[in-house]
Copies of this chain bind each other. A is one copy, B any other.
């Protein structure tokens, strides 16, 4: 008989997590209760927000406690259903966690059509990251043709979608990514106008040269030196959806001084900037619009995506650790079963 394998948080990391932050545990298969659905996991999504969930700092939702199963979105195949809307063989997406099998209430699952798009896209361009890109760019930043949009993490799961959407809106799109391969991909495959290497020692100068008309929209995904290079170039009335700050997720202390907060506040005032925090779970009502529009663009070949696939649940911890260091290239996915 098959057991369920799952990763639990072993101990809260101080600074960067390591594979030993997590512990692989074998348990009996979960038994679906009334209204629940049992699935075997096919794909597990690894995303930067998970670093916040294993931190003790108060976030927008409760943290994973040591000993608890790691949270995460999965694509699974239904193996047993006690919910009228699902039956064995259905492909679904839901918050299964870092595990080989999961049982969830039917209400917590969405059925996906394997003929409409590869099922893994339900965790990427058609899933939470793509939806985040859509809402952040199209509904919060609201770019206009001719504006300059800067995207840190240009080849990441959110940045790649948002940058392509901005191009389709007629914007000039400048990416920042880690290393020449990612930069080449952003320009040649995603159609960004320019993509700069974030490791370049003269990033500020290069970004200024790439944005001769200033910056109108900046999706805050990364923080750190990229954001520092963007701020002086922002135009009046620029919009900054604040979605992430991966450069700081492993930090154990604040960066050294001076305290640049008054400088940021002065920029907000003088340039009438709009900064707005965004968490995608607030925007569920907009999902049908996102799915219709981005689904159509994907099917018509006007949007591209890249997946970075790791084989086997047991490799999830090292892949997650690497992602926080920028080692993934494309949407990071764990292929848990075929």
Contact = CB atoms under 8 A, between A and B. Distances in A.
Contact of A245 (B255, B269, B274): B269
Specify which of A60, A248, A254, A261 lies most central, judged by the most chain B CB atoms within 10 Å of its CB: A261
A223 B262 contact: yes
A261 B268 CA distance: 13
A28 interface: no
A330 to B, nearest CB: 24
A225 to B, nearest CB: 12
Instruction: Determine how many copies of this chain the complex contains.
Output: 2
Given A254-B258, A257-B259, A272 B282 contact: yes
A216 to B, nearest CB: 14
Given A275-B275, A278-B272, A259 B265 contact: no
Given A274-B276, A277-B271, A256 B254 contact: no
Interface of A: 58-60, 220, 223-224, 227, 236, 242-245, 248, 251, 253-279, 282
Contacts of A254: 257-260, 262-263
A269 B248 CA distance: 13
Contact of A258 (B220, B256, B267): B256
A238 to B, nearest CB: 10
A272 B59 CA distance: 11
A236 B282 CA distance: 11
Nearest to A49: B269
11 contacts: A60-B272, A254-B260, A255-B257, A255-B259, A255-B262, A270-B277, A272-B277, A273-B276, A273-B277, A275-B275, A275-B276
A46 to B, nearest CB: 19
A262 B251 CA distance: 10
Contacts of A265: 220, 223, 227, 242, 245, 248
A148 to B, nearest CB: 19
